[in-house]
């Protein structure tokens, strides 16, 4: 186990934020938000290490003191990580032997056969309450890292709100979210915001190359400039541009309806959220081309998205983008995955070709 560290593109922000000046008036609840896949959770975890460290240097964890040693081994008694069971399980596979899992999710693990929850449950918030009402073990701060905050359901969000309304002493809550607009507004109003911007391409590319990612520039573009997301795609063997997208775009650029049956077959093995993301990014590239701007996500398909942009109505491309956002939300549980894919592709294709869609 090792101490979580800030990604290079976050170090400057972290130093300014955790520096001594700031710390004297450090808020008790923060909402750390920004684009998915830029490393916000790692930021919060590294920040927690810095806050718990007993001899921080420049606000950063020293890596040597007892607090750092405990934190690194997942055993710091004044630290809690709160996330849905499904997230803990997915992460547990990535970080095998993480001792913290047991401490935080003991009741979740015992739950047995039901499907792992995708929400942060009220029981997890109640457990925090009793923990926060005992003295700190090390006489310093207590830190909670909670993510993704948008997975708090109404009950657990209200439970957390109650805690934040009468904040326990010496406790810092770091909430992490990709979508702060989906949070309970009263909860957001209890937090100071720390927006994390999309990193500049240079440090992101340098880091991806250090990780040995092939096609780093194309992967970074396909991930919308989010380096951690780009790295995960590369690790999972996802090409920067899926072959099905090429088929789809090539036909549309020629003004022909794509062979949807063939594409639906290809989508069978891809999570719906992923291919909807790709369509959404394509819609953005088309809209950018219509505005006379270069492609942001698929630079290699720039000439095709420009051709599509010439044919499609601007209003319909914008509407397609909004519609795809709604489809993304229900993508995890469509009634019939193939019909769903067929319908989404037909809508996208009709919008790009300037035709009325045929319902599947």
34 phi-psi bin (left φ>0, alpha ψ -120 to 50, beta other): left
Closer CB to Zn ion, 60 or 132, in the complex: 60
The CA radius of gyration of the chain, in Å to the nearest whole number, is: 23
Report, in Å, the least distance between residue 79 CB and Zn ion. Answer: 13
Say how far apart CA 21 and CA 143 lie, in whole Å: 19
Our finding on whether 72 is near Zn ion (CB under 5 A) is no
Token readout for 196 is 């994390």
What residues between 114 and 173 interact with Zn ion by CB under 5 A? none
Report, in Å, the least distance between residue 67 CB and Zn ion. Answer: 5
Say how far apart CA 77 and CA 116 lie, in whole Å: 25
Please provide the DSSP assignment of 194-223 as one string: EE-PPPPHHHHHHHHHHTT-TTHHHHHHHT
Binding Zn ion (rule: CB under 5 A), the pick from 1, 35, 62, 217 is: 62
39 phi-psi bin (left φ>0, alpha ψ -120 to 50, beta other): left
Closer CB to Zn ion, 20 or 96, in the complex: 20
Token readout for 214 is 């092939």
Say how far apart CA 179 and CA 181 lie, in whole Å: 5
What residues between 25 and 54 interact with Zn ion by CB under 5 A? 53
Our finding on whether 222 is near Zn ion (CB under 5 A) is no
Report, in Å, the least distance between residue 66 CB and Zn ion. Answer: 8
Report, in Å, the least distance between residue 55 CB and Zn ion. Answer: 6
Of 282, 275, 246, nearest to 337 (Cα)? 275
Our finding on whether 68 is near Zn ion (CB under 5 A) is yes
Closer CB to Zn ion, 3 or 253, in the complex: 3
Report, in Å, the least distance between residue 64 CB and Zn ion. Answer: 6
Report, in Å, the least distance between residue 20 CB and Zn ion. Answer: 15
Binding Zn ion (rule: CB under 5 A), the pick from 1, 35, 65, 318 is: 65
Q: What are phi and psi of 31, to 5 degrees?
A: -110, 110
Report, in Å, the least distance between residue 53 CB and Zn ion. Answer: 3
Stretch that binds Zn ion, among 63-71, 151-159, 167-175, 248-256 (CB under 5 A): 63-71
- Surface-to-core class of residue 10, CB atoms within 10 Å of its CB (0-12 exposed, 13-18 middle, 19+ buried): buried
Closer CB to Zn ion, 70 or 323, in the complex: 70
Stretch that binds Zn ion, among 64-72, 156-164, 276-284, 316-324 (CB under 5 A): 64-72
Q: How many secondary structure helices (H) and strands (E) does the chain include?
A: 18, 5
Closer CB to Zn ion, 53 or 175, in the complex: 53
User: If binding means CB under 5 A, how many residues of this protein chain bind Zn ion?
Assistant: 5
Q: What are phi and psi of 98, to 5 degrees?
A: -75, 110
Query: What separation, in Å, do the N-terminal and C-terminal C-alpha atoms of the chain show?
Result: 51
Report, in Å, the least distance between residue 57 CB and Zn ion. Answer: 8
Give the residues lining the site for Zn ion (CB under 5 A).
Answer: 53, 61-62, 65, 68
């Amino acid at each position: 186990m090792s101490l979580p560290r800030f990604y290079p593109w976050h170090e400057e922000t972290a130093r300014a934020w955790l520096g001594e000046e700031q710390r004297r008036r450090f808020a008790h609840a923060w909402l750390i938000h920004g684009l998915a896949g830029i490393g916000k959770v790692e930021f919060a975890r590294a920040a927690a290490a810095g806050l718990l460290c007993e001899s921080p240097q420049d606000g950063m964890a020293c890596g040597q003191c007892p607090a750092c040693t405990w934190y690194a081994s997942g055993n710091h008694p004044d630290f809690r990580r709160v996330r849905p069971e499904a997230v803990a399980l997915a992460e547990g596979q990535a970080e095998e032997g993480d001792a913290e899992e047991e401490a935080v999710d003991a009741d979740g693990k015992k739950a047995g056969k039901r499907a792992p929850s995708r929400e942060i449950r009220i029981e997890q918030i109640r457990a925090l309450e009793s923990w926060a009402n005992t003295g700190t073990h090390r006489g310093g701060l207590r830190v909670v890292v909670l993510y993704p905050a948008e997975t708090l359901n109404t009950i657990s969000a209200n439970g957390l709100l109650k805690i934040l309304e009468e904040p326990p002493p010496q406790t810092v809550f770091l909430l992490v979210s990709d979508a702060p607009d989906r949070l309970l507004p009263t909860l957001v109003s209890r937090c100071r915001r720390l927006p994390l911007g999309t990193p500049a391409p240079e440090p992101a590319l340098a880091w991806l190359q250090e990780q040995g990612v092939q096609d780093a520039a194309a992967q970074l573009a396909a991930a919308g400039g989010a380096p951690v997301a780009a790295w995960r795609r590369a690790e999972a063997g996802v090409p920067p541009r899926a072959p099905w997208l090429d088929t789809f775009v090539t036909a549309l650029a020629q003004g022909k309806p794509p062979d949807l049956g063939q594409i639906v077959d290809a989508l069978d093995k891809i999570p719906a959220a992923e291919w909807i993301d790709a369509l959404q990014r394509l819609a953005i590239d088309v809209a950018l081309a219509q505005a006379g701007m270069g492609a942001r996500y698929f630079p290699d398909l720039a000439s095709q998205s420009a051709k599509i942009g010439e044919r499609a109505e601007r209003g319909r491309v914008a509407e397609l983008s909004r519609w795809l956002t709604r489809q993304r939300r229900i993508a995890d549980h469509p009634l019939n995955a193939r019909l769903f894919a067929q319908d989404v592709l037909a809508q996208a294709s009709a919008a790009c070709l300037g035709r009325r869609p045929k319902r599947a």
